[in-house]
Amino acid sequence: MLIILKPSIFSKQMTDHPITDHFTFSEERLRSLIRAIPDWPEPGVTFRDITTLLKDPQGMRMVHGTFAERYRNSNITHIGALDARGFLLGAPLADALGLPLVIFRKPGKLPAATIREEYTLEYGKAALEVHTDALTEDSHVVLIDDLIATGGTLLAANNLVNRLGGHVVEAAAIIDLPILGGSAKLQANGISYFALTTY
């Protein structure tokens, strides 16, 4: 069945609010859209919940627009999005910049040939995988995720990029949690990072 959509239904929504529209970044507004959940997932921990941000279209347009403007005139060739909330940021960013999107997934989720990088968690290990044909030796990649916590996933993704001959230009996130040490680990490994806000 062929479905024809009348332009009048969608044209206003599609043309009035592209990522490239004028916007003003406000860290105060961003923080007002991030919900604090005390004592989750365990007592003494305050969880920074972005689902309230995701519900706000103008807030998300501000986030997407800020990332797009930061990297618009850079030498990056690929956007690397980390499983899974990084996909919510990486896809709009890649689209806004007209760049390929590379996804870094948990084991067993990618169908073609992959390489794997393990990293250590507080209680055990985890891993990321990427397709072997995702990058080439001249690739310059921005990695993006929702937050920088312990840094394990971002460092694993960086190692995967390096193993494919590419180079990570920067790691980006909405939130940095420096108390967990991730941003310090990125710096110690020579990886530049950028976050919209810090807790």
Task: Give the active site residues.
Answer: 85, 122
Question: For 61, which DSSP code?
Answer: H
What would the two tokens of residue 57 be?
């279209």
Q: How far apart are CA 172 and CA 143, in angstroms?
A: 6
Closest CA to 160 of 143, 176, 146: 143
Q: How far apart are CA 141 and CA 165, in angstroms?
A: 11
Which residues are within 8 A (CB) of 187 and not within 5 positions of it... i.e. 6 or more apart? Answer: 193
DSSP secondary structure string for all residues of 155-173: HHHHHHHHHTT-EEEEEEE
- Give dist(CA 38, CA 168) in Å, integer: 34
Using left for φ > 0, alpha for ψ between -120 and 50, and beta otherwise, residue 181 falls in left
